[in-house]
Structure 1
């Protein structure tokens, strides 16, 4: 057995409607993803926010099947990555590790240590470097690994302009755009509080780098390109423009929305994009609303992760 295992880092999500509340509490209590008042008050503020939003969020999950699909999808990505590595002569254990729902870092690392694993190679499923996502996941991973005397390698912490990642995105975008060649392409990324960007977080810069790289690959298109942000939470200032405001400007046009900060389907794509923003687009007079699918187990994307993982081992 290879002494190094790969863990795929992702946010996580509730596996049932009963798990929505603990998932939200774990998320809002993490000051690395969002600071809510002074540190000693954050647990209380988090509980108040969750109480106020619980019914709405449960309703959203109910509308997409009563759970997040992120666990089975990430498990499928882990299986695909393990197979791709084995085909190159590098068989390795590959496991999902979520930040706010099972499987959490502690349990996965204990299991891997029991198998004789001594080194962990983290591979993020957040394409763009961000302290609130990969940074927070790496922090928890290192804390849990210390007690088990496991070595955490630097790993793969972003790949905003990796050629293989861009190849996969380009192919999916071209396929969808072929259905509406005159459409405006709207790249949609998860938003982030402006304070975090102003504090030096690289997320906005890396997101824009992906967008510019894809625009260069596709060249000029009749409908042009826009970048927008979604999934804002709370009253503080977040990255703009919002996806809603951009859709309001595109009445009378066809629109192709491409989620570029998500590599799998979950609440932000299946509910926000496919239900909420599709409905808003219709109200705004958008004549056709198409959405590019997330990468999932796309072979080109999995191949890119395998290549990056092997680089991380060298």
Structure 2
């Protein structure tokens, strides 16, 4: 389909420190992601206030990982790898990034694509687990902008929690870490979600559990055992538990391997939250060895997952 484009959907991030506050404003302004107290019309001004208050601390964290988020660069590598694989399979569709809270945003991207003769859009999520706050929010924004642009939004790739190639991309580095630390406890860490969203029917927790159980079935029982934990909580609501901080604080004297199972790219929540903040927690708790396996990135197995699933849905 030469008149179609494949859009890789992700959160996005500030590429420099000057973009941090606007990025936070977009993030906290999305009611699908974070439902602030009060009516919907109050969320935008509250979001701007929260962004202004949180920006100094956030800028400090981004400064510690190089002065901005690497997510745009990481996602561009993934898009290039997918594009190459599709060309090798004889497909000529454009492959573009479409972010939810930072450029390239849907409105501007679709305008440019329409000018290039693109009329059909195939969304492909870079969130492995189905979730209304991530994939759902991105798809809703894309649907609105597609309608405005007079473009057709086709069925896409919305999740792949137990895809064998996605699991391969997680299993291989985990096995390598276990070979070095055979007695370690494996901690699966996923981005948390407010419990009320799960109670409202969001499939996210179920999908996280499916990935975890599939990986455990592949690797088998280990001496240190497995634990599920959640990170990246914010706000005074009840979140999925147990929190990663509390789990690490109970692991003194042991080796741990952290698997960032809901992230496919390195960004602030892996490079700072896991590698700096929680490594400090581990050191304070007396954990003997703290090991964090990398996100899939452009691991050939992960690119195979995306390629195969895209080829399955293209005419």
Into which bin does the TM-score normalised by the smaller protein fall? over 0.9
Say whether residues 1:2 and 2:2 are aligned partners: yes
Is the Cα contact below 8 Å between 2:22 and 2:51 reproduced in 1? no
Aligned to 1:76: 77
Helix, strand or coil at the partner of 2:180? coil
Report 1:19-34 matches (<5 A). 19-34=19-34
Structure 2 unaligned regions, length at least 5: none
Helix, strand or coil at the partner of 1:278? helix
Q: Matched residue pairs, number?
A: 314
Aligned to 1:291: 292
Separation (CA, whole Å) in 2 of partners of 1:87 and 1:179: 37
Say whether residues 1:209 and 2:210 are aligned partners: yes
Is the Cα contact below 8 Å between 2:279 and 2:290 reproduced in 1? yes
Aligned to 2:100: 99
TM-score, normalised with respect to structure 1 = 0.98
TM-score, normalised with respect to structure 2 = 0.98
Report 1:118-129 matches (<5 A). 118-129=119-130
Is the Cα contact below 8 Å between 2:229 and 2:247 reproduced in 1? yes
Is the Cα contact below 8 Å between 2:169 and 2:296 reproduced in 1? yes
Aligned to 1:174: 175
Shift, 1:53, TM fit: 1.3
Q: Deviations over 1:27-64 (max 9, x none)?
A: 10110101112212112221222222111111000000
Aligned to 2:15: 15
Separation (CA, whole Å) in 2 of partners of 1:4 and 1:299: 25
Aligned to 2:305: 304
After the TM superposition, which parts of structure 1 deviate over 6 Å for at least 4 consecutive aligned residues?
A: none
Aligned to 1:141: 142
Helix, strand or coil at the partner of 2:211? helix
Separation (CA, whole Å) in 2 of partners of 1:152 and 1:87: 25
Separation (CA, whole Å) in 1 of partners of 2:266 and 2:108: 25
Shift, 1:111, TM fit: 1.6
Q: Deviations over 1:221-249 (max 9, x none)?
A: 11110010000011111110000011111
Separation (CA, whole Å) in 1 of partners of 2:173 and 2:4: 32
